[in-house]
Amino acid sequence: MNNYSPNIIAVSKTFSIDHIKPLIDFGHMHFGENKVQEAKEKWEKMKIENKNIILHMVGKLQSNKVKHALKIFDYIHSLDNEKLAEKLAKEQINLNKNPKIFIQVNIGGEDQKSGINKNHLSSFYEFCLKLNLNIIGLMCIPPNDNRSGKFFSEIKKLALNLNLNEISMGMSNDYIQAVENNATFLRIGSSIFGQRN
């Protein structure tokens, strides 16, 4: 792994653009938000002024917000159902966009969490390919029980099996384990910007 160097997404949800600005001025490129409306308000102008900024949707995406999401986000990390896949397929044509998309996997099999069940992953992936979605990798949020490493190594295998190169995993609490398992996109919020209210 000589050239391993994961992308760091600075997850700036809840923070004002004034708070984020020093990082933009420093030249950081990848930023993450979890709400479409907030992203639009904060980033629309900023993205026009800074063409290098790449914006990632890391939160739950409702089908009725897809159109607005595709106008502002370059990557979608949270594709987790067929209806959303169909909507993305339709709107990416209408808007002439080609978003990079992660399938979110419910790696811990938790009822309260979003994501495709790992047993349905390969059929869901096939479904997405038929819709011409640009699926680049898998995303997960493991259970909050200090066993992230185990789940990260599991999702790494799932990605390998599907020949997907990108893995979106690792947050402030578990990014070290994510790096140990070759995450390609870390999503880090509070360790960069401070605690959220």
Contact residues for ligand PLP, defined by CB under 6 A: 11, 13, 34, 58-59, 141, 171-173, 187-191
Shortest separation between residue 48's beta carbon and ligand PLP, angstroms: 25
Q: State phi, psi for 106 to the nearest 5 degrees.
A: -80, 80
3-state secondary structure of 111: coil
Which is closer to ligand PLP, CB of 102 or CB of 124? 102
Using Cβ positions, the residue closest to ligand PLP within the complex turns out to be: 189
Compare residues 11 and 36 and give the one whose CB is closer to ligand PLP: 11
CB 80 to ligand PLP: min, Å: 12
**178, 187, 183: which is closest to 148 by C-alpha?**
178
Nearer residue to ligand PLP within complex by CB, 24 or 171: 171
Q: How far is the CB of 51 from ligand PLP (least distance, A)?
A: 25
Among 104, 49, 47, residue whose Cα is nearest residue 71: 47
Please give the C-alpha separations between residue 48 and each of 56, 72, 103, 110, 162, in angstroms, as whole numbers: 16, 10, 28, 39, 36
